[in-house]
Amino acid sequence: MERGLTLHVEVFPDPSGVVRALANRIVKAAEEAVARSGRFALAISGGATPEPLFDLLGDSYYPKLPWTKTDLFWVDERAVAPDDPRSNFGAARRRMAPVFQADAARIHRIRGEADLPEHAADEYERELHRFFGKAPPGESKTFDLLLLGIGPDGHTASLFPGSPALEERTRWVRAVPAASRDPRVARITLTLPAIDAAREVAFLVTGADKSRVVRRILFEHGPDPAPWPAARVRPQGPLRWYLDRAAAGEPPR
């Protein structure tokens, strides 16, 4: 019997409305997490879509979040150095600078510059198990909130259609070879078990180029397993889609 899925879909007129709604959810999730366990474990995605969200979190929303109790993680990273323009860590650091001036121990980056992506994946796997293994008894042993994007091919994090990493059932982190799409570099990615263990998952999707895959996943797809990796995300807790009208395939008003 498949576990039930709590699905929420919210559509906003434009990207700024989507980003603000998600920023408000992040604030609320942080309050809930700190009240529950004294800390907030947030995993963020890469790519261009979340950049306006990072701008908010590093500026007007910065005072609203308990950064001294927040541990920041990444859902994936490119196999590049942190100062490489393709680095997800570097992109977040540029846009959320004040967050990175706080306690460095709370920033859990994936070492994209490691000699082999597999070594970076092993390190990050150990880091996650060390961090969540210390969770207070009975407390969530994973992310309180995990943010994902989606590509037009339905990939999420760095789980691409047909990738063997999609079939991973035990490891939380895997290295994957260079993507067949830009940036064409090897990646390190959370796996479905790690994503599904999250207390809550939020997809942030904007732009008409995503509307076809969003509609197929949310409204049309048939029996599992879906060909789109994003459709296979089944978190323990709520799964929320934050969309603008373009990504929802709705004509601009």
Chain residues that interact with ligand 6PG, rule: CB under 6 A: 45-49, 75-76, 88, 149-151, 155-158
CB 50, min distance to ligand 6PG, A: 7
* Torsional sign, CA 136, 138, 141, 145: negative
Q: Which is nearer to ligand 6PG, 39 or 155 (CB)?
A: 155
Pick from 128, 136, 48: nearest CA to 95: 48
Q: Which is nearer to ligand 6PG, 90 or 151 (CB)?
A: 151
CB 126, min distance to ligand 6PG, A: 21
Question: Any idea what DSSP says for residue 217?
Answer: I
Q: Which is nearer to ligand 6PG, 155 or 199 (CB)?
A: 155
Which residue minimizes CB distance to ligand 6PG?
A: 149
Pairing of strands 107-108, 70-74: parallel
Q: Which is nearer to ligand 6PG, 150 or 217 (CB)?
A: 150
76 has which bridge partners? 189
Pick from 5, 65, 61: nearest CA to 33: 65
CB 34, min distance to ligand 6PG, A: 26
User: 135: which residues sit within 8 A by CB, 6+ positions away?
Assistant: 37, 141
CB 35, min distance to ligand 6PG, A: 29
Residue 241 and residue 218 in contact, taking contact as beta carbons nearer than 8 Å = yes
